[in-house]
Amino acid sequence: MPLRRTSKTDIHAVPLKMIGARATPFVLALLALAMVAFHRIGVMPAEQLRIAVTDVVAPVLETTSQPFVTLTESFEGVRTLRALKAENIRLKEENARLAQWYEAALKFQSENQSLRGLLNVKADPALAYVTARVVSDPGGAFVKSLLLPAGMNDDVTKGSAVLSGRGLVGRITEAGKSSSRVLLVTDLNSRIPVVIQNTRTRAILAGRNKELMRLERLPVDSGLVVGSRVVTSGDGGLLPADIPVGTIVSVEQDSVLVRPLSDLSSLSYVQVVNMDADESLISGHINTP
């Protein structure tokens, strides 16, 4: 084991160097704490910094995760092979039932169209969809978010609704050139204006970082029942109206809980809805000519 050299220069140089080495963690910890504080009070360009990072990372993740996705999909294929017969029977029954619904829907659609024509209803703005694969789900235990490899180049804009096959899963909170971040409806910071489908009661659906979400700002005695569907109200003009979000699973004195329709923990593809919202709907200032 070589001993430390004890020349004169070393004796003087070492303590300073040592102090530097000892102080670095403290300085860095303080710096990190200051960053958290600055982020909290909003003096840090957090969004721009994040977009810069995700724009670089998302394409890399898209490429690197491909083999794993293929692998899991083939595993899934083998697993479902065993349940194929039972699934087939179930699907046939479901298909027969859905065929009846399809007939009913066609009838309602034509009826709806002719009634709308009679009443001269202004049509909802046309929606455009962008489908993207989920490349990352960063945030872990704290934040419920997804990373998509589609950004402003693909007409994904901040505030757009994000759907899975079954209903709303979240909203775009950051949109870079080629990547974007989705805040899931279950996140602590998520607030979605909703309406209960059968009673038309308006409320705000708030995430809690848990599996279930809570309805807030409910009117007194709103008479909600378990099993009611919760859909977006379209208030504020940011999200399209009537997108299903979840179903009420418990009604208690002080809290009404809602379960999301889609399984948010295993999303692999999502659709981003672009709504060309009228500016005046969002700002509330309607310019009369």
Partner 1 sequence: MSSFDDREYDQSDTAQGSIISFLSRTGLILLQAVCLLLLSAFPFQIWNLAEVRPAFFLAAAFYWAVFRPRAFPPLAAFLCGLTLDLLYAGPIGLHALTLVVAQGLVRSQRRFLIGQSFVVLWMCFFLVAGGAFFLQWGVHSLFLLETIPPRPLVISAVLTGFVFPPLSWAFYGFSRLFYGPRG
Binding site for partner 1 (CB under 8 A): 1-2, 4, 14-15, 17-18, 21-22, 24-26, 28-29, 31-36, 38-40, 44, 46, 49-50, 52-54, 57, 60-61, 64-65, 68-69, 72, 134-143, 145-147, 173, 181, 183, 188-189, 208-210, 265-268
Residue closer to partner 1 (CB basis): 66 or 110: 66
Residue closer to partner 1 (CB basis): 31 or 286: 31
Residue closer to partner 1 (CB basis): 56 or 81: 56
Residue closer to partner 1 (CB basis): 66 or 283: 66
Handedness of CA 59, 60, 61, 67 (dihedral sign): positive
Residue closer to partner 1 (CB basis): 72 or 131: 72
Write down the least CB distance from residue 26 to partner 1, Å: 8
Question: In terms of DSSP bridges, do strands 191-196 and 202-206 run parallel, antiparallel, or are they unpaired?
Answer: antiparallel
Among 164, 187, 186, 162, CA closest to 172: 162
Write down the least CB distance from residue 5 to partner 1, Å: 11
Residue closer to partner 1 (CB basis): 49 or 121: 49
Residue closer to partner 1 (CB basis): 78 or 286: 78
Angle in degrees, CA 164, 46, 274, rounded to 5: 30
User: Which two tokens mark 242?
Assistant: 């009537």
User: Which two tokens mark 70?
Assistant: 């293929």
Residue closer to partner 1 (CB basis): 2 or 289: 2
Write down the least CB distance from residue 89 to partner 1, Å: 27
User: What's phi and psi for 56, nearest 5 deg?
Assistant: -80, -45
Alpha-carbon radius of gyration of the chain? 26
Among 2, 58, 38, 4, CA closest to 179: 58
Write down the least CB distance from residue 145 to partner 1, Å: 4
Write down the least CB distance from residue 217 to partner 1, Å: 17
Among 272, 273, 259, CA closest to 134: 272
Write down the least CB distance from residue 159 to partner 1, Å: 16
Q: How many residues does the chain have?
A: 289
Write down the least CB distance from residue 275 to partner 1, Å: 23
Handedness of CA 124, 130, 134, 140 (dihedral sign): negative
Question: Do residues 236 and 143 touch, judged by C-beta distance below 8 A?
Answer: no
Write down the least CB distance from residue 132 to partner 1, Å: 12
What are the DSSP calls for 113-168, one per residue? Answer: HHHHHHHTPPPPPPEEEEEEE--B-TTTTT--EEEES--GGGT--TT-EEE-SSSE
